[in-house]
Chains A and B, each alone.
Chain A
Amino acid sequence: MRAHRLGAALAVALTAALAACGSGEPAPRSTEAAQSPASAAAQGPVKLTYWTWAPNMDKIVAVWNQAHPDIQVTVSKQAGGDDAAAKYLTAAKAGNPPDLVQAEYQHLPSFIAADAVADLKAETAAIQGEFSEGLWRLVTLGTEGVYGVPQDSGPMMLFYRKDLFDKYGIEVPKTWQEYADAARAVRRKDPGVHLGTFSSKDPGAFTGLAQQAGAQWWSISGESWKVNIADEATRKVADYWGGLVKEGAIDDMPYFTPEWNKALNDGKLLTWPSAVWAPGVLSTNAPKAKGKWAAAPLPQWNAGESFSGFWGGSSTAVSAKTPSKAAAARFATWLNTDPAALELLVKEAAIYPAATKAQSALGEAPEYFADQPDFWQQAAAVSAGARGFTFGPNVGVTYNAFKDAFDKAVQNKSSFSAAVQAMQDATVADMRKSGFQIAQ
């Protein structure tokens, strides 16, 4: 508590006012240079700003800048996640967004709805074939427009402690039923250990699990949205985890907390249903367990299936306000389809590329998974069976409702499918308030 804080009203107003005054990285306004590339030499190169959170992106962009003196890109490193999306929307509203932005798939519809990203249909017609249909849908929402170039994807896999599975005599679960049985078995063998945890702070993880079960939270039919978050598949997933939490078979600590790190490091958590980018997280958060983790396909709802969902993944979008749309689109295309750029993205930014041919070209397993040389082949196989869905225009509301509702459900040990219903209600209410057309 600080007595000298600014007034509450001011905080919001000032933020808006300051954003309007410039967020430190004003987008260039060299309109002429962009519109007539021929005169670029005389007027100096087109300057583009690029918001991204992928590590080492500046090194990759340096390669582009070297080869393209006429289009110079400046990287502005951002904090990732929902905050980055909020920051971009605020900048766009204030009228000075960057020219390019790394946009997570689930946030892209909010960007489109706010008219903050440009339609790149003409500029990307040639590269559509480089991406799987599912990933391409994520940047079109199934509409006529193309609002970004897919960069990376996050198919979900089951990460597990191989050494401890051996120690407790547990098989790698093939179905969620087996996963539940394994969770109980672990508790019987060592009450200090859990097979896994359910995180009420990570809507992205839950979304991926719902996708695996076949959920379709949003869809577009004609001129209206269909919102179906509380569908049967999602409620099934919610009740499954709710049951395990209530029973105490798995833990309820959120991911990415100091406690969670400690549990991973100390071998108190044996699995993490996560996405293909998990090795990076594990190597930072659980350095002690290096070489002890392995990856397997997610457990299935029905034996014999091979479905997965997506947690995360992002695209490169171009601001609707940029005066240099063509140049920005050229860079976005190079970054995500050029073989040299893709190799750099994998090596330097540690991403799982969206471009199909780059996925199959991945060679050496991540260092953390040194004992699993076929890591990328596994990932490619999982990726082939991963199913996503169209995200809605107000994912921020939905994800916030997830956190509040599941926090409460975990805390009160109350029904998880009621929390899913709360997400549905909050999402629909917010869309109604803004006037979106909603189909029943």
Chain B
Amino acid sequence: MSHSRRNAWPYLFLTPAMVLFTLFLAVPIGYTVYLAMRRTRVSGLGLGKGARREVFVGLDNFAAALGDAELWHGWLRVLGYGALVLTVMLGLALLFALLLDSARVRLARFSRIAIFLPYAVPGVAATLLWGFLYLPSLSPLRDVLDVDLLGASTVTYSMANVAVWGGTGFNMLALYTTLRAIPRDLYEAARLDGASELQIALRVKIPILTPAIILTTVFSIIATIQVFTEPTTLRPLTNTISSTWSPLMKVYRDAFVTGDLYSAAATSIVIAAISLVLSLGFLRVVRDRAFEEG
């Protein structure tokens, strides 16, 4: 008896977590799946009591979401945007982390904070701020640059710029922290072998950083797929961003603009599945590199 009681204790301690998990993860997901398989049917004019009822439609909403050309266009736009953000942002983050880690940089503490600071600015505020810089008649940039920064061919770059501006600091810090954890005598040894700072960076630091780079990449992939704030905030300022520019915007539009919660639920499940496939797929491809110590 005392045996079984001892075994019950861990469950007791787990209960709060399980309750929270059920309330805020399992139930909402379950409800989303439930909604995704339903649809409103109205009869006649659809006005007044009883003219509208909810019916079960099975996988119809999923079929509609998968067959929606606009959603796939959204994926393509996000893919282009993501390729841009991922390479520039992570490239810069790596570069800054390496620079800050090298002993020669002065004002390292200040630079670190300065690079990280944009991350502390909320996405909406950051986008509005950049939006003002992009607007043709208000922008001081327009005196220097003779391009419409919100034009059809440039708007993706303008949005990517906001994301890079906001995200580089976070990723830089993740990489930098890993770099600081590397024992200094490794570099000592490399220097004794005649390696230059550049060679140390390329041959010693980057290989050790690989797991951290992979981690930040996965985070960034997930965040990119969920891009919503930047295009939504910039949309009122230009006519080059549609209400379905990114997949998540389409979910928002369906749920709250056109009042179709059911399609929104189905589409959001499709998006979650694709996010999962993309991030797990990426992890699988790089698994050997990521966990080579193990």
Chain A residues engaging chain B, CB cutoff 8 angstroms: 1-3, 5, 7-17, 82-83, 86, 89-90, 93, 109-110, 112-115, 119, 141, 143, 145, 200-201, 220, 223-225, 252, 254, 256-259, 262-263, 393-394, 396-397, 400, 403-404, 406-408, 410-411, 430, 434-437
Contact = CB atoms under 8 A, between A and B. Distances in A.
Interface string B125-161: 0000000100111100000000000001000000000
Interface string B215-243: 01001101111110110000011011111
17 contacts: A1-B220, A1-B227, A8-B251, A8-B272, A10-B29, A13-B29, A13-B32, A15-B255, A17-B31, A258-B237, A400-B253, A403-B243, A407-B241, A410-B239, A411-B152, A434-B46, A437-B45
Given A396-B257, A411-B152, A258 B132 contact: yes
Residue among A263, A406, A410, A436 having the largest count of chain B Cβ atoms under 10 Å: A436
Nearest to A12: B268
B28 A407 contact: no
B101 to A, nearest CB: 21
Contact of A112 (B32, B39, B47, B89): B47
B52 A115 contact: yes
Contact of A411 (B24, B46, B240, B259): B240
B243 A434 contact: no
B47 A141 contact: yes
Contacts of B227: 1
Given A13-B32, A13-B265, A404 B42 contact: no
Contacts of B242: 404, 407-408
B237 A257 contact: yes
B268 A8 contact: yes
Given A113-B46, A258-B132, A404-B243, A5 B223 contact: yes
Residue among A201, A263, A410 having the largest count of chain B Cβ atoms under 10 Å: A201
A1 B45 contact: no
Interface in B235-277: 236-237, 239-244, 247-248, 251, 253, 255-261, 264-265, 268-269, 271-272, 275
Interface residues on chain B, size class: 35 or more
Interface of B: 24-25, 27-29, 31-32, 35, 39-52, 85, 89, 123, 132, 135-138, 152, 163, 166-167, 170, 216, 219-220, 222-227, 229-230, 236-237, 239-244, 247-248, 251, 253, 255-261, 264-265, 268-269, 271-272, 275
Contact of A12 (B27, B43, B236, B265): B265
Given A86-B257, A256-B236, 10 more contacts: A1-B85, A5-B223, A8-B268, A89-B259, A143-B48, A252-B239, A259-B237, A396-B259, A435-B41, A436-B45
Contact of A8 (B220, B248, B261): B248
Contacts of B226: 5, 7-8
Q: Binding site of B, secondary structure by majority: helix, strand, loop or mixed?
A: helix
Contacts of B224: 1
Contacts of A220: 45
Given A143-B47, A257-B237, A3 B222 contact: yes
Nearest to B132: A258
Nearest to B70: A404
B47 A13 contact: no
Contacts, number: 184
B28 A201 contact: no
Residue among B239, B257, B258 having the largest count of chain A Cβ atoms under 10 Å: B239
A223 B41 contact: no
B22 to A, nearest CB: 12
Contacts of B239: 200-201, 252, 254, 406-408, 410-411
**4 tightest Cβ-Cβ pairs between the two chains A and B:** A13-B28, A407-B239, A3-B219, A13-B32
Nearest to A93: B261
Given A10-B29, A13-B31, A82-B257, A115 B220 contact: no
B163 A1 contact: yes
Residue among B43, B226, B227, B243 having the largest count of chain A Cβ atoms under 10 Å: B226
Given A13-B32, A407-B240, A8 B51 contact: no
A259 B43 CA distance: 46
A410 B50 CA distance: 42
Contacts of B24: 14, 17
Contact of B257 (A7, A8, A119, A400): A400
Given A13-B29, A407-B240, A259 B256 contact: no
A7 B230 CA distance: 17
A2 B27 contact: no
A434 B41 contact: yes
Contacts of B248: 8, 11
Nearest to B44: A223
A1 B166 contact: yes
B259 A110 contact: yes
A93 B31 CA distance: 14
B138 A400 contact: no
Contacts of B257: 82, 86, 396, 400
Contacts of B255: 12, 15
